[in-house]
Amino acid sequence: MGVEIERKFLLASDAWRALGEPVLVRQGYLTSDPKRTVRARIYGDQAFLTIKSKSEGASRGEWEYPIPLADAAELLDRLCDRPLVEKYRRRIEHGGFTWEVDEFLGENAGLVVAEIELPSEDAPFDKPGWVGQEVTDDKRYYNSNLIRSPYSTWTDTAS
């Protein structure tokens, strides 16, 4: 079983904008049950089907498989819940880790988060100066929850 250990943060400044190349990501959920999610994603010119288990702290099971781009496009267009999650992602190397900064579009425009995947929940890491408040435990920031409660509908944000 694959395990994803991920921590999520808001941004403290716009300094990240000068780093990394933005890649358009389109993703949708075939199921976004809190116990499990099944996602189709187009990341640039690649496509994936991803299954994730319920989060336990910053960890959860994750299985990801490449699929044909045309299949992913059809899943997004015909079967995935609405709204789709669309964002620009930048991958930024810092302190021996890759940070992924997601700038959301559409109904989630205005939301920008940084994520880091770690080898263990207690692994030490250096936060870049542009990384701010941690929101790992705030389920509103899960991509799968952004289809049920888009950022544009939030009345109370941590940002």
Q: Where are the domains of the chain?
A: 3-153
Mean pLDDT of the chain: 94
95-102 average pLDDT score: 97
Rounded to the nearest 10°, the torsion over CA 123, 126, 131, 132 is 70
Structure confidence at residue 1 (pLDDT): 58
**Residue 29 is a catalytic residue:** yes
Render 17-41 in DSSP notation, one character per residue.
Answer: GGSS--EEEEEEEEEEETTEEEEEE
Checking if the pLDDT of 67 tops 60, the result is yes
Q: Given 29, 141, 142, 151, which residue is catalytic?
A: 29
10-37 average pLDDT score: 94
Domain 3-153 carries which CATH code?
2.40.320.10
Structure confidence at residue 158 (pLDDT): 53
Is residue 83 within 8 A of residue 150, CB to CB? The reply is yes
40-57 average pLDDT score: 93
